[in-house]
Every structure is written in C-alpha cells, then in structure tokens.
A and B are shown apart, each in its own frame.
Chain A
C-alpha cells in the first residue's frame, strides 16, 4: 500500500463519491445523513466544491433534486442513508421515472457482510427501487465504484432521462481503491439510445405535414428534456408550417403561451379548442409526448380520422396506447431539425385558413370561463392575478397535485421551458414545496413560487425548515379551499356527492405555521386585497406561506368526463358552481 499512497487516484469509496460528483459538474446535492452514509458525510464536511442542502425528510431531498434538475436541465443529486432513507426515496424516484427527470440517488447500505442478515436499517434497496429507477447498482467492490458512478450519470442523462440509484455499502465507503475520471468504457455496451431519426420515416412525416388540411402539433415534456435546441426548432416548425400547437402538462413552455398558434393545454382539463383540434385533425404530429390516459380520453374514440406521426426517444412509447402511422425513434431536437430541413427544401406552407377559422369558433366557446365574484376569491382569479403580478419577472413555478395544479396549467402562461415544475405522471401530492426548494437552490435570485393546495402542501410542509435554514425565499401560494378539491370533484361527479374524507376538518393556521418555521405568513380572504398581498409576497425576501382563501366549492372545468372522447367535453357553462353547490344541500358551508 505504501508505494501507492502518493497516487492521487487512490482514495476511499466515500472520497470517490464526492470526487465523482465534482467530475460530473455537480455543485449542489440534497440529502439527509444516517449511519450508513457517515463516511460520505465526513468527506462532504472536508471540502467546499459540492454544497449539501440538508432536507427534513428524504422525500424532500428527492423532490428538491427533481426541481433542481427540471429547472436547469442538469441531473439532480440526492444522498440518503440505508433502510428508511432509501424507502423514503421511492416516491421521488417513481415520480422522476414517470416524468423522465434525470436524478442520481446515492444511498448508503449496511456493510456487505451484513447484507441479507436483517441488519439495523437494512433493506433490499436495489430490489425495492428496481421498478422505480431507469437502472440501479449495488457496488460490492470499491474498485467498481468509479465506473458505476460514471455510468449512473450517463444513464440518468442520456436517452430518455430518468432516475438511477447507486447503493454503496458502508465497508465499500471505507475501503481504499483506485478512482478514474469518466470514460466511455464505463457504460454497458448494451446501452446505446438512438438519437438520429430514420430518414425514410422523416420524409413520410414531411409529406403528411405538407399535405395536411387540418393539422395539429401535440408536444410534450420530451421537447423540454431534449434541451434548448429542441424548443427553438419546435417554435421554428410552428412558424414555418403555420400549424396550431397544443401541449401536455409536462410540455408547457416549449411553445410560448402568448404565441398565436397556441391552443392551450390538451387533455382531461385542457381547453376545448385544443381537444377539438386533436379530435378533428387529419394529421397529428406528436413530439416527445406519450399519449397518456389523461391526454387521450376514450382511446377508441381518440382522434379517429387522423394520420399520426410520433417522435419519441423511447421505442416502448410507440404504439403503447395509440397506434400511430409514422413512428420516428430518436431525440426530438435532432428529428425536428431534420423535419424542418426537409420541409423547407421540399414543401411549402399548406393553406389551412379554413382550419384556423374552425379553431377560432372553438376558441370562441371560451372554455376557461369562470364567474368572478366581489365577495370570494375564485381560484382561477387568484392564479391569473399571480400571473399578472409576475409577468416580466424571472419566475419559476412548481405545483402540488390537484385542482390548483390544473388551474395553474390553465391560467398561468409559460413563455419559456424549464419554468414549470409539476408532478405529471405520478401525480405526487407534496411535490411542489420541496421542488421549489431545489429550484431556488439552482436559481438563488429568481422568484420561485409553489402554487399549492391546502391538502398537498401539508404532505411535505417540513421542508419550510430547509428553506428557512438556507435562506431560500420560496413562495408557497396556497389555494386554500379546505378540501382535497380534486378528490371532492370526482366524488361529486361520480360518487353521488358522498364526500368521503375529502374535507380537512382541522387545518393549521398557515400564518402562524409560517412564523413558527421562521418564515412569513400572509392570509387573504377578499378579492380586493389579493393584488396587494401578492405584491407583498413577492417583495418579501424570505420564505412565505401565502394562505389564499378561495371559493370552497369551485370545480375545475372544462373536463373530459370518464369514458368520453375529446369532443364530449363538459364545459363550465354546463357545470357551473351554482349547480355544483346545489348538490350540497346541507353540506359544508362556503368559505
């Protein structure tokens, strides 16, 4: 050993982990210490290149890393201990898998000789996280550690991005071995995601696009994951073709909400014009989206008369839910570039004036209509006010899951990608607050707002303490209706108005709670006070809990009801809040 002691690449496993983070350009990680990761924490203590953010619960670390990743395009990193530390990561890992977020989780494990013995804080971490990661590794030999860490970063960030986990037993952290910087041979030879699209398929796609009478572009989170070039090319394609564009929840911001071709979000709570355009189109170009069941409505009635082009980097997304005519496998930025090149060389802008006239008629239905009130704040109005107040500011929005999330998607206009962090696929209540922590760490001088619900926000409220500790001035904008609004909405619509356990009998005083954490609490009841309070929230340079008391029984429309198609939407005028309130004879009082 002595002759190797001067070799700078000889180091402990724990040191290798920190070194690998540095080599991959990681500047911030989110974690929580524990017995099985103490050697790594000891290394973190003795350096200053990687900043560690101490969360209050490992789930918070995972979501914070997701928010960090989604707002920067870089991988998010979480560090947790064995056993409960690892099991608490299951939700964020699954969330990141569903939404294709690059996440690298390093977990401690009991020493190798104890694995399988039901040791203290032992669990089968790789077994538990196998179905909720893109790939995971248990490292039993310190000399494999560098290779595995480098591969982990590569797998997380290439192809369809996703979460990975490296489980490192404590004896491996202590053991000394040889580190090497990242190199190509670190990666499985069997892993080679396809980037370039097939030229024949691209020609077929262009020919469909060029001859379309009623086209639509339907874009998703894949465009944002692909990077800024894909966003630029998507915008250019809309410009060159003159086609209307809609997007999924995950795809908001790739095309600007103020753009003239923008139809709004599609799907279950999408706009009438977006869904009708999808239903009646003759050519659909799906870019980086996956025909999720919240998007398609009834599958056998989904856009029945269209030719469908599907660009996706994951071959398993093709024909999973909806049969498509022209699948193109590869990176959507790369393929959009090729499509544009061929289109510009060989086609000209199709004349789709009649189609746009039809779309204008659908738009005129004003499907996001709601009735404002002078007495009570409508949640839609609250989001619109927030949007107006933040216009032109450097703003990032995260959300929890439920009605407030849908209203945020409907009423907050996103002009740029990476500005909208929401749990789409998994629908994780409690995502938004810790995600905001992660976003604020990545963008310390920006305005970071979690649009929250009163129920969701309580699931990870403890991360307020993290925000206060690191002076992260996140704004938690709670649309407080005292209900699990979306649960209640479904109970009203589908379960005979039996509101089983969807009302919060005992909410905390959010103002006092904010103060207890060392943050700032604001509360507003009256519509006339709303704008002033929002201004105050924005100007405070500390974490804020904003308790926005909103109309309790407002529901989220328009909506594709269960078992219905895109052209069978329930519009607000058919399901207004008076009608909903009537269903509440003798029920809970309106706020």
Chain B
C-alpha cells in the first residue's frame, strides 16, 4: 500500500456498501434531531432519507426513520453511536429484521396537454396514484409506496412534463403483532 507522508495511516476499505433502514425511538425534546443529524454529519455517515414526527405525544416520544448506506462495520457503528445518545430509547435495524414494511408518500406535479396529459393520468392509475389537484394544464398526484416504486413513477413522469416533487422520506414498521 502506498502511504503518503502523513501522521495518519490511510486505510482502504473494500467492503461493499449496504442500505439499511433504522427506526430510532427518541425522547421528544429540543435539540434531539440536531443531535442525530449532527452525529451523521460529524462522523461522515450518509443520510439517504430521514423522517421524523412525534408518535406518542403523552410520553413525549418521537420516531425517526433513517435510511443510510455504509459497510456492515459502519452500519453497526451508526447503530451503536445512535444508541448511546442520552435521549435515544431504542434503535432497530428494520432491514436486518427482514420483516419490515417501508412506505413513502410523494406529491408529484406534472404539467402538459394533449396526449402527454392522458398518458400521465393513465400511468397514475396504473400506479394507484391519486389526483389531489388539477387544472386544465396540470395535475398533482399523490402516490404512496416503497422508494423504488416512487422513483419509477417519477421517472415515468419526467418526459410527460414533470414540474416538481415533494417526498416525505421513508417510514417503516415491522410486520406481525409485536411492537418495536
């Protein structure tokens, strides 16, 4: 290994990256989201998607769903680093459980006329997207599904006059009767 002149050892890692969805249960208090995001930026981890909302108001609990990528060692680090934060109750690797359902909601604005407009509506129907706003020259579709499905729908809308997209990011929950 060719090392540049450095006080640090430069290490090359060749493990392949994996994508994982993590569900993080936190105390809903000021700064908690900043802590989580700061951890990711500070330690150089990736955030592909992040969704957060209070889920149990009486207990002041919020649930953060993070989609991240990294080598298996990095993913393990992310989980441990999250888990040791003071306001974090629990970290569950939804991808590792192999029993999770992931959904995202997107609103997709498409502008066009004639055949493009008809085609957009036809495709929306095939993807079970709903029309939530319409003018004579535009639609806003609401679509729910996993990330791949939404990406695919957006790709199809692009040549048909895609104007803009607003996405919620991924929310995930485990299958079966058990809670987190």
For the complex, count residues of B whose C-beta is within 8 A of A: 29
A189 near B30 with CB under 8 A, answer: no
A316 & B84 in contact (Cβ 8 Å cutoff): yes
Q: Which residues on B sit within 8 Å (CB–CB) of A134?
A: 86
Q: Is the CB of A495 within 8 A of B9?
A: no
- For A495, the closest partner residue in chain B by CB is B5
Distance (whole angstroms) from the CB of A20 to the closest CB of chain B: 18
CA separation between A490 and B8, bound complex, in Å?
11
Contacts A126-B31, A316-B77, A320-B77 given; indicate if A299 touches B87 (C-beta within 8 A). Answer: no
Question: B20 an interface residue at 8 Å Cβ cutoff?
Answer: no
Q: Is B58 an interface residue (CB 8 A)?
A: no
Number of interface residues of A (CB under 8 A): 31
Query: Is A293 in contact with B76, judged by CB distance below 8 angstroms?
Result: no
Once the chains bind, are A319 and B3 in contact (CB under 8 Å)?
Answer: no
Shortest Cβ distance from A485 into chain B, in angstroms? 14
Point out the residues of chain B lying under 8 angstroms from A300, CB to CB.
Answer: 11
Asked whether any CB of chain A lies closer than 8 Å to the CB of B80, the reply is yes
Residue from the list B8, B9, B30, B87 in contact with A188, Cβ < 8 A: B87
CB-based contact B83/A315 at 8 Å: yes
* Given A190-B86, A315-B84, A316-B77, A494 and B6 contact (CB-CB distance below 8 Å): yes
Report yes or no: A131 in contact with B38, Cβ–Cβ below 8 A. yes
Q: Contact between B76 and A297 (Cβ–Cβ < 8 Å)?
A: no
Which residues from chain A contact B180 at a C-beta distance below 8 Å?
none
Q: Is the CB of B3 within 8 A of A562?
A: yes
In the complex, the chain B residue whose C-beta lies closest to that of A268 is: B7
- Is A155's CB within 8 Å of the partner chain B? yes
Q: Which residues on the A side are within 8 Å of B3 (C-beta)?
A: 562-563
Query: B10 an interface residue at 8 Å Cβ cutoff?
Result: yes
Bound-complex Cα distance A135 to B1 (A): 40
CB closest chain-A residue, reference B73:
A319
Q: Are A299 and B9 in contact (CB under 8 A)?
A: yes
| 16 A/B residue pairs, CB under 8 Å, sorted by A | A130-B31, A138-B30, A138-B31, A190-B26, A190-B86, A191-B86, A299-B9, A315-B80, A315-B83, A315-B84, A316-B83, A316-B84, A323-B73, A562-B3, A562-B9, A563-B9
Q: Indicate if the CB atoms of A316 and B7 lie closer than 8 Å.
A: no
Which of A134, A160, A190 has the most C-beta atoms of chain B within 10 angstroms of its own C-beta? A190
Docked-complex contact B89 and A316, CB < 8 angstroms: no
Q: Which residues of A contact B81 (CB under 8 A)?
A: 316
Instruction: Decide if A298 is an interface residue (CB 8 Å cutoff).
Output: yes
Interface set, chain B 1-60, CB cutoff 8 A to A: 1, 3, 5-11, 26-27, 30-31, 34-35, 38, 42
